[in-house]
């Protein structure tokens, strides 16, 4: 058991280190896109499925409440949280449209749409990103090795792994890095 635990820990650390090191320019770019949008009075829209839905909610909460710094709230919303919206769209249209319709209702030019998909192939995430791009939103994609999502977004944030668990662990780490970079830029220490 101890060997399994240590193997998982080592694997997680390696995937994070390699993915974040390789992706550092894109992480910095994503932080800049988010910061610029928030300074301009725009908002961040996060969405994904399953564990990625939980990550979308987690990251939106970090921006609205706070991450590390005591500061004013920042405009962010997870499109995964309203069960009435999700189920009515899924029932009346298709599940593939649950984020598209919300992006069209809530997104404005200059906002940032952040899609999360470990495979990079989730139809509803891809459709939400396509709608965001059509409306003039900036697009960021958290993904595994890439997939279609990486090709659709302005700033892809791929993880160098085929393991869903390692991808999700790295996504939340990258998300926390983004939260801190944005906070530090918007609320510099006195």
The count of structural domains within the chain is 1
Half-sphere exposure for 43 (CA within 13 Å, toward CB)? 16
Other beta carbons less than 10 A from residue 51's beta carbon? 17
pLDDT at residue 52 in the model = 97
pLDDT tens sequence for the chain (190 residues): 999 999 999 999 999 999 999 999 999 999 999 999 999 999 999 999 999 999 999 999 999 999 998 999 999 999 999 999 999 999 999 999 999 999 999 999 999 999 999 999 999 999 999 999 999 999 999 999 879 999 999 999 999 999 999 999 999 999 999 999 999 999 997 5
pLDDT at residue 100, rounded to an integer: 98
Specify the DSSP element, H or E, that contains 52. helix 51-64
Q: Alpha helix locations (H) across the chain?
A: 2-39, 51-64, 83-92, 98-106, 123-135, 147-152, 164-186
- Regarding pTM above 0.75, the answer is yes
Which CATH number fits the domain that encloses residue 34? Answer: 3.40.50.10490
Domain that holds residue 41: 2-186
Which residue has tokens 């609320």? 187
Per DSSP, the chain holds a count of helices (H) and strands (E) of 7, 5
């Amino acid at each position: 058991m101890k060997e399994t635990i240590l193997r998982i820990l080592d694997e997680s650390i390696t995937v994070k280190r390699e993915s974040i090191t390789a992706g550092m320019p894109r992480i910095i770019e994503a932080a800049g896109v988010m910061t610029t949008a928030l300074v301009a009075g725009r908002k961040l829209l996060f969405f994904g499925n399953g564990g990625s839905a939980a990550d979308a909610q987690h990251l939106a909460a970090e921006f609205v409440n706070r991450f590390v710094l005591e500061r004013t709230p920042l405009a962010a919303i997870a499109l995964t949280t309203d069960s009435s919206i999700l189920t009515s769209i899924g029932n009346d249209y298709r599940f593939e449209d649950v984020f598209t319709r919300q992006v069209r209702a809530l997104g404005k030019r200059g906002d940032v749409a952040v899609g999360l998909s470990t495979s990079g192939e989730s139809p509803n995430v891809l459709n939400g990103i396509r709608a965001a791009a059509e409306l003039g939103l900036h697009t960021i994609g958290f993904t595994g090795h890439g997939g279609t999502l990486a090709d659709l977004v302005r700033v892809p944030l791929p993880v160098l792994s085929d393991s869903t668990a390692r991808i999700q662990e790295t996504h939340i780490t990258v998300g926390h890095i983004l939260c801190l970079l944005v906070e530090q830029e918007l609320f510099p220490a006195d």
